[in-house]
Each structure stands twice: as structure tokens, then as C-alpha cells.
Amino acid sequence: MTESFADSTLSPALWQAAHGLDVPQDPWPGFARRERRHQRTRLIRTAVAAAVGVALVGVQTNVVPLPGWAPGIAVAAAPAALLDAPPRGALAGDQAWLDTLRARISTDPPVSAGNPLSGWKVGDRDRIRLVYGSDQPGHRVALVAVPLRFGLLTKETLVWYVGPAGAGAKQMRYAGHSEGVGDPVMTLMQADPDRGGFAVVVGPAESTVTISGDPRYTPRGTLEYQDLARADGSGVGFAVLPTAPLRNEPVVRVSRGGHVLYQGGLGGGPYAAIVPTEMDVLLTAARRGARGTPPDDANLRNFIESALLNSRLPAAGTMVRVRWSGSGHGQAATLLTVQPAGGGVIAYVMHGDDRTGWSVDLRLLLPAEGADERPVGWRIRADNGTRTPTDQVRVIAPPDAARVTVTVDGAPPTTVTLDASKAGTTRIPPHQPATLTAYSTDGSVLGTTPVPPVEADMSGLPGDSPATRVTP
């Protein structure tokens, strides 16, 4: 066949143009190589991650041991004020006894079943050190800082050990440990109604430790304590407890330079219980002269028991009076007073019931003289879970009062409107000082009482703070 003019002219040109193009190579082989490399990398990473995960699980569950010196994640801290202080007590210089105790703790740690420290293991044994150790009447007591590890988690815990006086390190037994809450004080109380017991408190060095027994509310409206033990400057207090059941929980105070570092109850009991027949007598007497809506027996019993426990007063010999009862936040509310024989008068306001629980709205220690003629007022808190003070103040007038006025920070007094039970409500800005004054029918003053601020901390007893007493 004869080639046409067009074929003969275009073929060489097309062939030359085609060979001049840069045609890419087939991409599949390169992609396959890269994918195989990525798969190998992913497999290696997965295997490593799985191995690390298994190791971490093993470490965290203490199946795989870690050396005590290995670093970990600290989750709790014992009080630095105690850890940083030099060892105290006579046992601080008994190196042989300390070495034996350190070895005993390493092999027999305080983490047995049922113990809150169960699952934790002792870390570096060389870091076990004595914070306090001494012989006291009938007892040997030691407070030891022990490094603990639970897998990668670490913490340093203060642990109590006790034994008979002169006990060897192997005779010492676990008696308690710190919870890492940050209080600069460690306390231990062991009471036995048959053999007696002891209480020991270790605070920061150079602090003053006081262990107090039953309180005394003086007629002039102040609070005093019966000191069971007092140590000035050592930071350690020890008290020998009687064999009879304690009537009340001993109170600990630790201070330095006039500043209270810690105040709280020791706990541990047992304590003498309130006799039901004594409560029955109190209930009957408490209702005499009560104003307002009569409280039911269950609520009144609970209010009185709470007041006695809070003030640490016995039922026998204590006079209780219901001054007023009504409602607060839609619940039963009562103003009552408790007075030990020959002592001051403590006013309590409580509201609540068995279903919702009880709240304390006021604790105020008054001088015995003229207590019945004083008006009493308390700031109403918000009923929204926050319990923040509002500008509303509930006022209860004394029985013989014709009227009550409120004076706010030097402003002219205003009269409080009272109902038939001689209760009323007024408004005072929160945190604003104010004074209530009650007048008789002839216009003479019966008594005056400041409106106290809302208590931020109810750990102390009534009269412990300016917010809970009238007497300066």
C-alpha cells in the first residue's frame, strides 16, 4: 500500500514528540515497599507498647518489683513540719534500736490485710527514719517516717508504733498512720477502761502542745480547760488517761508564737454515754416556759443530745431550757440554752429533722448573770447548699421584753417587729456589726447582745473564738 503524504509527514514528528515526554514510572512497586516498611514499624511499636503496658501493669500491681531507689510519682505527703525537724525523744540516740526497727519495718511492713495501707510496699529502707521515740509511763511510743511504693506511685507516711515500756524494736506493733491531709500534727490516743491508756501529740519543733480534758464554762462567760498535759517548746505532749471511761474527748491545741497551728479532738474513746433516764428528765424540764410551736420529742431529744455532745457537758447537773421553737428553712428550729451547775450559759440554735439531718445555726456563750434578759439573734444562711450568710437575722426577745431594737454599726436604732412568740426578723448586711437591745414595758434596758458573725469553723468549743462568746 502506498503511504500517504500525511502519514509520511506526521509519523516521525509524533514519534519524536512521544519519546520527548517524561512519563513517570509505575508507582505501585514504590508504594508497596513503603507500606511494608510502615507495617513493620507499626508492629514494632505495638509490640513495644504492649510490653511496656504489661510491665507497667506488673509494676503497678507490685507483681514486677522495682528497686526502692527507683523514682516514682509522689501522691501524698506527710507533714513537712514534722519530716524536716530533727528526731526527738530519748530513742533518737539509740542507733542499735533504730537499726533493728528499720530492718523489722522493711521485712514486716505495716501493710497487712485489713490495714488501709494494704498493697503498698516499703521503698528504700535507708530512708526510714525516726521522727519521735520515747518511753512514757507504761508505754514505748515511736513515730516513724516510712517511704512506701505502690507500683509507680510513692508516698512518705508517718506511722505510729507502740509497745510496753522498754520494748525491743521487734516488740513494737503498728498503731496508726498519717492520712496525708497536711495537718502539721500527729496524734495518737489509746484508751482502755480497765488498764487506762495514754495520748501523745507530736507537733512542729518549738511549738507548745496542750492536751485538755473537760471544759469549764465560767459564770462570767469564758471557756477554760483542765489541762491533762502541757509541754512548752518541745512540740511533744503526753497524757496518762484514767481507767474510767472518759466523759469527753480530749482536746489538742498546738501553738507557736501565739498562733494556733492545730486544734481538734483526739478521738479514740470509749466515752461515757448519756443515760436515757437523765435525758428524760432534761426533756421534761426543758419544755417549761417554752414559747412558739412546741417541738416534738424526737427532734428536741436530738437537739439536746447534740448540744451536750458539742459543749462536752454531761446530762447530769446540766440545766437545759427551750427559749423558743418554730421553723427555719421549712424545718423545725429551736433556740435552747444549756448551763452547767455554777457556769455560763450556752445558747444553741438548730434546725432540721430525722429525714434531712440537723444544722447548727448558732453557738454563743453568755455570762450567767442576766442571760434570761438578753435578746438573741443569729444570721440566717442561704438554703442552697453553700450555707453562705444572708442579710436576714432572726431575733428572739426575752420573755419580759416589750420591744427590741437593732443598731447597725453606729446608725440610729430601728425596732424589730415581733410576733406573739416574741420572734422577729430584721435585715443586717452580712459581716456588718450590730447589737440587739431589749426594753421592758417601762422603757428600761433589759439586756443587750451583739449579733455574732457566722462561724466559719466549728471545730472548737463554744467560747473558744470571739464569734462564739459575748465576753471579750
CA gap 260, 262 in Å, rounded: 6
Question: Given CA atoms 163, 164, 166, 168 in this order, what sign does their dihedral have?
Answer: negative
* CB-neighbour burial class of residue 433 (10 A; exposed 0-12, middle 13-18, buried 19+): middle
How many C-beta atoms lie closer than 10 Å to residue 52's C-beta?
A: 10
Strands 73-77 and 153-164: parallel
* pLDDT recorded at residue 375: 98
User: 356: number of CA atoms within 13 Å, CB side?
Assistant: 14
- 95 grid coordinates: 542507733
**DSSP class of 217:** E
DSSP state of 247: S
CA distances from 362 to 146, 292, 334, 451 (A): 43, 18, 10, 10
> Are β-strands 259-265 and 251-256 bridged in parallel, bridged antiparallel, or unpaired?
antiparallel
Helices (H), 21-87: 28-60, 80-83
The string of DSSP codes covering 337-380 is EEEETTS-EEEEEEEEETTTEEEEEEEEEE-STTGGG--EEEEE
Q: Strand locations in 103-243, DSSP E?
A: 121-122, 129-136, 139-150, 153-164, 173-177, 186-190, 197-202, 208-217, 223-231, 236-241
Q: Which CATH architecture has domain 184-272?
A: Sandwich (2.60)
Residue 31 CB-half CA count within 13 A = 4
Task: Report how far residue 265's alpha carbon sits from residue 187's, in angstroms, rounded to the nearest whole number.
Answer: 9
Q: Which of 213, 223, 220, 222 is CA-nearest to residue 246?
A: 213
User: 396 near 378, Cβ under 8 Å?
Assistant: no
Tell me how far apart the alpha carbons of residues 335 and 468 are, in angstroms, rounded to a whole number. Answer: 15
- Give the residues of the chain that fall short of pLDDT 70: 1-78, 110-119, 179-182, 193-195, 244-245, 267-273, 384-386
pLDDT for residue 320: 96
pLDDT at site 3: 46
| pLDDT reported for residue 307 | 94
Over residues 356-388, the pLDDT tens digits come to 778 899 999 999 999 999 999 999 988 766 678
pLDDT at 382: 83
CA distances from 59 to 53, 74, 77, 127, 201 (A): 10, 15, 21, 21, 37
Q: What angle do CA 348, 353, 359 make, to 5 degrees?
A: 40
pLDDT at residue 409, rounded to an integer: 85
pLDDT at 277: 83
Whole-angstrom distance, CA of residue 305 vs CA of residue 314: 10
Tell how strand 345-353 and strand 357-366 pair up: antiparallel
ω into residue 270 within 30 of 0, thus cis?
yes
Strands (E), 56-109: 73-77
Ordered by start, the domain boundaries in the chain are 49-182, 184-272, 276-468
- Which of 305, 241, 242, 252 lies closest to 274, judged by CA? 305
What are the start-end ranges of the E strands in 388-442? Answer: 389-396, 403-408, 414-416, 423-427, 434-439
